[in-house]
Chains A and B, each alone.
Chain A
Amino acid sequence: MSLVPSGEMTLGPFFPREFAQGANDLSAGAKGEVIEVTGRITQLDGKPLDNLVVEIWQADSQGRLDAADFFGWGRAATDANGVYRFRTIKPGAIEGRAPHINFLLLYSGLMRHLQTVMFFEAAKDPVLDAVPANRREALIAKREGAVYRFDIRLRGDGETPFFDD
């Protein structure tokens, strides 16, 4: 049998708040360096976006995916200033990949979800290398102590690269 995937559609403006809450701390009980990953999400006119849903997927500190003692998935929503916030563990390198966190964005005005990736430094990586060289900088978080800042611009100057899968 061969079925066509269902048509993806926008999240709309009324995603239940309870679903976006309580899932942005991945660090509880996990081994490794605890970090905060945060950033501001803006649209073409520079306006910060409120209640945009951000989901992440990452490896544990040893580079293992879906490890028994680390649940590498999380979800947060932006506040009125467009800011999302995760508390997590700095991921290790998965074989063949530089350390990174996968991001998925859901919002009204996005006909379907957008995917991007946050890197910790400009390292050799097949996904980062797929991005035109002059746009790679936008995928590298800015470090301030234990805080990694990863701002996302959906459209316009300094636009974040998004991936087609």
Chain B
Amino acid sequence: MPHFSLAKRDPATQSEGVVPGYAQTSQRWPSQPLVKRPQTKSELTGPANLARRLGAVRGDLAGHGEKRALGQLIHIRARVVDEDGAPVPGAVVEAWHCNASGRYKHPNDTDHAPLDPNFYGAARLVAGDSGLVELRTIKPGAYPVPDAAGWWRPPHVHFSVWGRVWLSRLVTQMFFPGEPLNEADVILNAIRDPQARNRCIATLMPTTKGPQNALVYDYQIVVRGRGASPKL
């Protein structure tokens, strides 16, 4: 098996620092340069069986019948792979998003858009051997960012993902194709490389009439690292 290795981040495909139009970044991103450090066993390991502690919670946020949430039914198929394209079996994936009117079921969301009694927007999924996680849900709405004139977040789904080691931790957002608001979103466009940006947008698969009859979106999540899990 190839030795596990982890390359430095590429600033063209990763965002950081103080970002114009996103005021909080100027209060929170460090002013001093980040310190380069050697990679040791401590950073190149991680909990081998995280699902033992963080198990699956809700795989279906859309509901059924009278408990069906408002909005377009969608089915997200996200595959977790590493930089070799190899699946990451057992990867834990947390997903959360707002309801169809753009409101999060969270005490910090003080927007006046209505809550949906049938929508609870948080799920935890565990990938199988092929690295695939699937989430049946509804398409989230767009919403205005408080205290940021003119900035509306496009529809998006948040993902929190664990790769093979501590340094592979990934928190990202998945966007939807064809949304005009994607063009001006401060967070999506902080990624400078257009191809890297496009990879944050899911692919709408051909619609077919199936038992679910949902819009199917495919998405690939690439966590950092190549080669086998390092030996302890």
Q: Which residues of A approach B to under 8 Å, CB–CB?
A: 1-19, 23, 43-45, 47, 49, 51, 55, 57, 59, 64-66, 71-73, 94-97, 100, 102, 104, 106-114, 126-127, 130-132, 135, 154-156, 159-165
Q: Which residues of B approach A to under 8 Å, CB–CB?
A: 6, 8-10, 13-17, 19, 22, 24-43, 45-48, 50, 52-54, 57, 81-85, 94, 96, 98, 104, 106-109, 121-122, 124, 158, 160, 166-167, 169-173, 187-188, 190-191, 196-197, 199-200, 220-224, 232
> Would you call the interface of chain A mostly helix, strand, loop, or mixed?
loop
Q: For residue A159, which residues in chain B have a CB less than 8 angstroms away from its CB? A: 30-32
Give the residue name and chain of the A residue nearest to B96 (CB).
Answer: A16
Q: Are A43 and B28 in contact (CB under 8 A)?
A: yes
Q: Are B52 and A44 in contact (CB under 8 A)?
A: no
Of A6, A18, A163, the contact of B199 (CB 8 Å cutoff): A6
Q: Are B27 and A66 in contact (CB under 8 A)?
A: no
Q: Are B199 and A7 in contact (CB under 8 A)?
A: yes
Q: Are A164 and B28 in contact (CB under 8 A)?
A: no
The list of the 9 closest CB pairs from A to B, nearest first, reads A109-B24, A164-B34, A1-B85, A16-B122, A109-B28, A14-B104, A43-B27, A14-B106, A7-B191
> Would you call the interface of chain B mostly helix, strand, loop, or mixed?
loop
Q: For residue B172, which residues in chain A have a CB less than 8 angstroms away from its CB? A: 6-9
Q: For residue B158, which residues in chain A have a CB less than 8 angstroms away from its CB? A: 11-12, 14-15
Q: For residue A5, which residues in chain B have a CB less than 8 angstroms away from its CB? A: 9, 13-14, 83, 170, 222-224
Question: Measured between C-beta atoms, what is the minimum distance from A34 to chain B in Å?
Answer: 19
Q: Are B85 and A165 in contact (CB under 8 A)?
A: no
Q: For residue B25, which residues in chain A have a CB less than 8 angstroms away from its CB? A: 109-111
Q: If the complex has contacts A113-B171, A155-B31, are A130 and B124 also in contact, measured as CB distance less than 8 A?
A: no
Q: Can you report 17 A-B residue pairs in the complex whose CB atoms are below 8 A from each other?
A: A5-B224, A6-B199, A6-B223, A8-B171, A13-B108, A14-B104, A15-B160, A19-B124, A23-B54, A49-B28, A94-B40, A110-B28, A112-B171, A130-B37, A161-B35, A163-B34, A165-B167
Q: Are B22 and A109 in contact (CB under 8 A)?
A: yes
Q: If the complex has contacts A5-B13, A71-B47, A127-B38, are A111 and B19 also in contact, measured as CB distance less than 8 A?
A: yes
Complex CA distance for A17 and B121, rounded to whole angstroms: 12
Q: Are A9 and B40 in contact (CB under 8 A)?
A: no
Q: Are A65 and B42 in contact (CB under 8 A)?
A: yes
Of B14, B27, B223, the contact of A44 (CB 8 Å cutoff): B27
Residue of A55, A106, A112 with most chain B CB atoms under a 10 A cut-off: A112
Q: If the complex has contacts A109-B24, A154-B28, are A7 and B166 also in contact, measured as CB distance less than 8 A?
A: no
Q: Are B96 and A14 in contact (CB under 8 A)?
A: yes
Q: For residue B8, which residues in chain A have a CB less than 8 angstroms away from its CB? A: 164-165
Give the residue name and chain of the B residue nearest to A139 (CB).
Answer: B35
Complex CA distance for A8 and B167, rounded to whole angstroms: 12
Of A9, A131, A154, the contact of B35 (CB 8 Å cutoff): A131
Question: Measured between C-beta atoms, what is the minimum distance from B17 to chain A in Å?
Answer: 7
Give the residue name and chain of the B residue nearest to A41 (CB).
Answer: B28
Residue of B25, B30, B33, B85 with most chain A CB atoms under a 10 A cut-off: B30
Question: Measured between C-beta atoms, what is the minimum distance from A64 to chain B in Å?
Answer: 8
Question: Measured between C-beta atoms, what is the minimum distance from A17 to chain B in Å?
Answer: 7
